Chains A and B, each alone.
Chain A
């Protein structure tokens, strides 16, 4: 992607062209801190991930938050959600959202104290 970017001029391809003009997908409801992990399976039903989706898949070999994915890929959140929605629909990523337990919060407090 980098070679298509001119930092001064911005991207050659408008972000929404990457997602075929779509602004809605099953990725809409993805929370900013939902964790995305590549499942490592091959795409089903003739789906071919685009270059940006390939970059996402390479990034999420370990669990990565939606916010980190958007920040790392450098595309607007809305676009990233559409790309993630497609990947999820085709079983290429799994999305997790663990909630905070008492034990986790205590661990966070101790971790912050140790900073």
Chain B
């Protein structure tokens, strides 16, 4: 007889909120009349993400934390402090991203998403739809499913659940990447690329899973750790671990598994890009941390050199190729690759005895990077010309004289991405570098600081253009953002400053939350 697994509904509450809202969203799509669909969908999505966010906070606040967390659903989920911190980060950032989705004031056609994705691009019907104010609302439940997948991903204590979560978060992302209202071919190309390469990565992950299962006879992270510790250097384990990591690094857009990133970031609708850059990064790194620390923590010699090398490649590729970009979205894509390298620097901050500040530092960095990059993409949605967003660098010349506030906010985000003190970016960088140096990885940190300096050049170039260049004659207009985008910009800018000037409380939180169970 099969025993029903013990399910702790309290521990699952954040996930239930988000997935529940996603299911409701599907029903709304089917039954609600078209006129009310958009407001209802936005409300449902916000209830889902805000509810999920609140649920994690309540859970972290009220549950007795004696063991630092709880393993539920037959060891499949580890709802521990670190998991809750990451879930809260994902849900919070997703709330901001949903607000960006809901912006209707910027595009003359009232939405950043195509009215009917199935109409072939360039067809007469398509041209008709470009100017119609019909909006498409499937994007909300799809995004919610992705958010749910991400939140599952960071608490998965079992490789199979991790794989399921990976798919649940990826499939909706592939779809919504292709929903841009303008430059549809680029958007669809991005979606197909993302899908094909993503499928490859999933296959890698699955193959790795199979090898590890073959070697250890289990898919649970805790048991894998015990098995690996006993067996020593098993080729199957090493190979399986490598394949698992490759699958996860792909999602985290770490070079050399980054080739999809610039194309997808550029092609996807900008709110979706913001969502991916912030939330997917958090989810993927959450999974990487859990896999390495919980599953293979005792065998750190097997993954440490790999992560070390990949971190260097990612920082260098991101920083150097970022220099040559002329499109802001592509530039931010390469920036995200470089930042993935910095994050891996933090991942290395795990001591031999399981100590070290790597986990806390990486989680803090994820939060700061997510907020800043989300804000930067939100600014991109404001600067527009007749053909949608004006993403080319040259179009941003002299923006400061046209719209000082927009330029100032963008300048703040760019300085934060460059890691200038008194912004969140610096605090995050300091935390991960400290974690790495504590474990003796100072050559890596040296590479990291040099890469930061190179990357600073392309952030600075945008500031130079905005502030020190004369405005272009037929430059873009700066749209007046509606309430949702304004809210996002206010929150992200305030957080970027606050986490740079008084980061103490959040650092404390990350420090306290830096515990895995399982």
> Do A and B share a complex?
no
Chain A residues packing against B (C-beta within 8 Å) = none
